[in-house]
Amino acid sequence: MPKLTILACSLLLTLTAHAGISPIEQRISAGVDAGQHTQVALLQKLVEQNSGTFNLAGVKAVADMLRPEFEALGFKVEWKPMQATGRAGHLIATHKGNGQGKRVLLIGHLDTVFEPDNPFTEFRIEGNRAYGPGVGDDKGGVVVILAALRALHDAGALRDADIEVVLTGDEEEVGTPVALARADLIAAGKRADAALDFENLSHQDGREMGAVARRSSNVWTLTVHGETGHSSGIFSEAMGDGAAFELARILNTFRNELPEPNLTFNVGLLGGGEQATLDASRSRIQSSGKDNIVPPIAIARGDFRTLTPEQTTRVKTKMQEIVARHLPRTSAEILIEEHYPPMAPTAGNRALLAQLNGINRDLGLAEMGEIDPLRRGAGDISFVATDVDGLIGLGASGGNSHEAGEYIDLTALPRQAKRAALMIYRLSQSPR
């Protein structure tokens, strides 16, 4: 076949696949492709700067790298320090449009799970994959945001858009008090008409999937007390059952009585003895004692995850009721901390996924099904879920998140940026 004929066929296929997008959307899409080198260069720069949640200076350094990127696109950028919560802070970038279209909130984060002492430090490219700490979670997501906004800007499609970007500095371990740590994000959610989350794209059985829900993340600490003395007195009227058996009774009852759809619960730490204490980091139980002494104290710590606020309340109540059924001469208390609320699947969230699937069709991409929320962890978008419709997973496509060997697929970066750019554009063109 002559070269000219091959070129003509290729052009026809491209135009057919993109038949549903307007001329300005074609310019946006072309702009994403033209910026691929810039995307990878920024990704490398961000990944090579450690920004573990507790590396406060590193988180701020990443924010400083991003500030000029947003300012060049006409955004007003603000750094919100969060020393009062024990964290670095948040970067908030705002673009004022004409006040006519939907207000779009873009959510990502600056921090990673990889602290400076983690041996996984290198950014490298092998074939179509980029590897590095936080390359997908969430520095690749931040790169997708900027690639989409840059393409919109260069096509003249950003001028009238009302957009707010919130990049938190403590998504991997939210600061306390949580109400203060998430106040700015919650306020942004109340101002928005749609929220887009730029953590990793979901996959299932080799397919790219949409996500309209995230489960909560709640931590519980159970402390049990009992009488102590020589083990020969266990189960007597004077000694009772002891702290260890009461702890075991509670955990076994959790296992038997709590299970329900969309709920998971786990025991992560366990200890007891003559002495037992949970350290300041709440990640280690120090205990000591003898095998012939009935332990006066036992401690357990774990988490549970739910899909709706109603489920969270129901499970909390069940756990408290179970704890209250004490064995003889024992007492127990449970402290439950709600770290991340759930993002329930709603009609509004599903309408956003339907809109994204319209973009997929227009770009010649496969339609995305709805992934089971059991496959998605907790995230920042949940803090705005009761105020605004949202969609999850518009960030990078990759794997091994939170592990040495975390990677993203570089060929998917422009695809994700096109999806995001057209989603932002169409929302911003829709009346409020």
Contact 410, 136 (CB under 8 A): no
Q: Starting from the edge strand earliest in sequence, which strands make up the sheet with 330-340, in order?
A: 264-273, 297-305, 217-226, 330-340
3-class secondary-structure state, position 277? strand
Nearest-angstrom CA–CA distance, 162 and 231: 69
**How much is the pLDDT for 377?**
81
Nearest-angstrom CA–CA distance, 220 and 321: 14
Contact 315, 258 (CB under 8 A): yes
Domains 16-213+343-429 and 217-340 share a fold: no
The per-residue b/e assignment along 294-331, b for 16 or more CB within 10 angstroms, e otherwise, is bbbbbbbbbbbbbbbbebbeebbeebeebbeebbbbbe
Q: How many CA atoms lie within 13 A of 395 on its CB side?
A: 27
Residues of the chain with pLDDT under 70: 1-19
- Residues present in the chain in total: 432
The per-residue b/e assignment along 107-120, b for 16 or more CB within 10 angstroms, e otherwise, is bbbbbbbbbeeeee
**How much is the pLDDT for 18?**
54
In sequence order, what E strands does 202-309 have?
A: 202-204, 207-210, 217-226, 229-230, 264-273, 275-278, 285-288, 293-294, 297-305
Q: Sign of the CA dihedral 342, 349, 389, 347?
A: negative
Bridge partners for 112 per DSSP: 52
Among 243, 236, 82, 253, CA closest to 167: 82
- What is the pTM for the complete model shown? 0.89
**How much is the pLDDT for 5?**
38
The pLDDT tens digits for 286-321 are 999 999 999 999 999 999 999 999 999 999 999 999
**How much is the pLDDT for 1?**
37
Provide the H-helix boundaries in 115-264.
141-154, 178-181, 183-191, 242-257
User: For the chain, which residues make up each domain, given as ranges?
Assistant: 16-213+343-429, 217-340
Nearest-angstrom CA–CA distance, 19 and 363: 8
List the CATH code of the domain at 16-213+343-429.
3.40.630.10
List the CATH code of the domain at 217-340.
3.30.70.360
Bridge partners for 95 per DSSP: 163
Q: Give the Cβ contact number of residue 431 at 10 Å.
A: 7
* Amino acid present at 417: A
**How much is the pLDDT for 19?**
56
